[in-house]
Amino acid sequence: MRRPRLYITGPQCFYPGGEHQLLTMKYLAEEYGFEVTNIKEKMGFDDCDPATGKQPLRKLTPDYLDDCDIVVGDVNFFRGGEPESGTIFELGVGFARGKKLYSFTRDRRDVIHRYPVGQLCPDGKILDEHGMGYATAHTAGNLMYMVPSKIVEGDFEACLKTIVMDLIEEAKDRGQRIVPRQDLRAKSTWPLGELPRAYLAGFECFLLNAREVGDRMKAFALDHGVEGIFPPDEAPGLKEPEDMSDVYTRSAFYFDRDQLHIRNSNMVIANLNPYHGHEPDSGTVFESGMSFGLGYRCYCFLSDGRELIEKVPCNLGEDGIYRDIEGYRVENCGQPLASIIASNMTVVVGGFKDAILKVEEDTERLKRGE
């Protein structure tokens, strides 16, 4: 019987001594009976261009996770109130490719207690530091990675133990008259038309006037030959549960709605401006990774196009590595985003309208066969 194959993703590659940490995680996983597909004896973290000192970009194909069974992500907060964006991108790719998702964090309390930057309004609403709805306040994380992955409180070994127990329970079920759950989420419900259809991912859906903003975004997109879907839109064929009183029921429904929006599209246009800290909104990043995993055209926009080493406060060490206040490596890849994202999405410096104009330009080039 083949050993289950793990793909491990997380910010360890940015930690001092991160290469050794990852190898330790690999050996630990092997002790628990897993095969690790992506951690090698020599990771090549320092394969920089000798002329520029820049790290190489990771240009991937959507099927790069296909040789694993399970994706395990470290979703501890990183430089603010969001997990490391490359980790969440890979969890999104894993979901698109039908992989089991697990994640772990030292603290599984509601986000509002781990990133307590918000205000309570007289009507009971919680707003974040930007004056937007604090959607993740009373859950363990953004619903886009929290719902499809099983979040384990503890370290990597605690996550491994949970996976082992789940695999044992699945094996026991196969020996009994127990039918596995049926997952219908991979089916689209809205055939594509003549125009490209874009899922408009971003934290605009947390604005207090989100519907109005979304309508304007969709109208501008349509004027330029793109049909847009905004996260709060209704998804054809998806019925809201009768009882939405539980926060996790609501989160699961909103996740299913948004992932269905993506499957009903053939493109993503994502707002990857910084959100709670230096990282983009993790839900938007997950949706970007999912879209990449489905083979879509992937666009993102942000207003500050400076590279990461100019945006994240850091110093250049004698070893040639830029490190932030925590001692974590800051990617010197010449890009304004994590290299795995910048390498696999078309990055537009500007706003939403600039991204739409870029999509329109690229669509015309594709029509001409360029």
Q: What is the mean pLDDT of residues 65-74?
A: 98
Q: How far apart are CA 280 and CA 87, in angstroms?
A: 12
Where residue 181 falls among pLDDT bands split at 50, 70, 90? Answer: confident
Average pLDDT over the chain, rounded to an integer: 95
Quick one: tokens of 175? 């020996």
The whole-number pLDDT of residue 45 equals 56
pLDDT at 126 over 80: yes
Maximum C-alpha span of the chain: 63
Q: Which of 76, 73, 102 is nearest to 90 (CA)?
A: 73
β-strand partners of 159: none
Which amino acid appears at position 340 of this protein?
I
**Percentage of residues of the chain with pLDDT beyond 90:** 89
The whole-number pLDDT of residue 370 equals 79
Q: Which of 208, 228, 201 is nearest to 88 (CA)?
A: 201
Helix axes 85-96, 282-293, angle to 10 degrees: 40
Where residue 120 falls among pLDDT bands split at 50, 70, 90? Answer: very high
Kindly report, residue by residue over 187-232, the tens digit of the pLDDT. 999 999 999 999 999 999 999 999 999 999 999 999 999 999 999 9
Count of H-run helices and E-run strands, the chain? 11, 14
What are the residue boundaries of the structural domains of the chain, listed by start?
A: 5-367
What do you get for the CA distance between the two ends of the chain, in Å? Answer: 48
Where residue 164 falls among pLDDT bands split at 50, 70, 90? Answer: very high
Q: Is 292 exposed, middle or buried (0-12, 13-18, 19+ CB in 10 A)?
A: buried
Q: How far apart are CA 116 and CA 128, in angstroms?
A: 9
Name the pairing type of β-strands 322-323 and 315-316.
antiparallel
Q: What is the mean pLDDT of residues 299-316?
A: 97
Kindly report, residue by residue over 8-48, the tens digit of the pLDDT. 999 999 999 999 999 999 999 999 999 999 987 555 555 67
Q: For residue 362, which phi and psi values (nearest 5 degrees)?
A: -65, -35
State the DSSP H helix or E strand holding residue 210, giving kind and residue range, or none if neither: helix 210-223
pLDDT at 174 over 60: yes
State the DSSP H helix or E strand holding residue 285, giving kind and residue range, or none if neither: helix 282-293
Helix axes 352-367, 210-223, angle to 10 degrees: 30
The whole-number pLDDT of residue 57 equals 81
35: three-class secondary structure by DSSP: strand
Residue matched to tokens 């604005």: 207
Q: For residue 127, which phi and psi values (nearest 5 degrees)?
A: -110, 150
**Percentage of residues of the chain with pLDDT beyond 70:** 96
Q: What is the mean pLDDT of residues 263-272?
A: 98
336: three-class secondary structure by DSSP: coil
pLDDT at 1 over 80: no
Which amino acid appears at position 147 of this protein?
V
Q: How far apart are CA 186 and CA 208, in angstroms?
A: 31
Where residue 289 falls among pLDDT bands split at 50, 70, 90? Answer: very high
pLDDT at 355 over 90: yes
Q: Which of 11, 98, 34, 36 is nearest to 63 (CA)?
A: 98
Q: What does the chain come to in residues?
A: 370
pLDDT at 286 over 70: yes
pTM recorded for the entire structure:
0.96
179: three-class secondary structure by DSSP: coil
Handedness of CA 309, 292, 96, 353 (dihedral sign): positive
The whole-number pLDDT of residue 311 equals 97
Q: For the ranges 28-42, 69-83, 201-215, 256-270, which has the lowest average pLDDT?
A: 28-42
Which CATH number describes the domain made up of 5-367?
3.40.50.450
State the DSSP H helix or E strand holding residue 173, giving kind and residue range, or none if neither: helix 156-174
pLDDT at 59 over 60: yes
Residue matched to tokens 């078309």: 346
